Amino acid sequence: MKPQISELINSAKQLGDFSDAEKQEIFLTIKEAKARGLLRKQPDDRCLNKYINLANYLLRTQSAEEFTSALNQNLECLYVYVALVGLNCITTTA
């Protein structure tokens, strides 16, 4: 079961917080990647930005157990996930 956005926000608050500029950079990067067709269930590509690679990892593992584990361990993954949900790339139960 995918975590709800409210759960992710609470988790992010416990782990720390990025500056608004960093959160905006993540969102804009994922938005641009979607527009360019770079979001796919593909393995890491060293030519892509780290946020795009994280997004592709989440897309690839969204139905696997490691998906939730990644969200709980990595603050960047939380914000990438929120961007993916916000851009309708991943559906959520929220």
Q: pLDDT tens, 51-86?
A: 999 999 999 988 888 888 887 777 888 889 888 988
More confident residue, 50 or 82: 50
Asked if residues 73 and 3 have their Cβ atoms less than 8 Å apart, the reply is no
The amino acid present at 73, given as its one-letter code, is: Q
CB 67 within 8 A of CB 85: no
Task: Give 23-45 pLDDT, tens digit per residue.
Answer: 889 999 999 999 999 999 888 99
Write the single-letter amino acid at 56. Answer: N
For residue 1, the model assigns a pLDDT of 45
The pLDDT, as a whole number, for residue 71 is 79
What is the C-alpha to C-alpha distance for residues 48 and 44, in angstroms, rounded to an integer? Answer: 8
State the residue for tokens 């969200």.
71
pTM for the complete prediction? 0.78
Alpha-carbon dihedral 40, 44, 49, 54, rounded to 10 degrees: 70
Q: Is the pLDDT of residue 92 over 60?
A: yes
Q: So where are the chain's domains? A: 5-86
Contact assessment for residue 11 and residue 71, using Cβ atoms and an 8 Å cutoff: yes
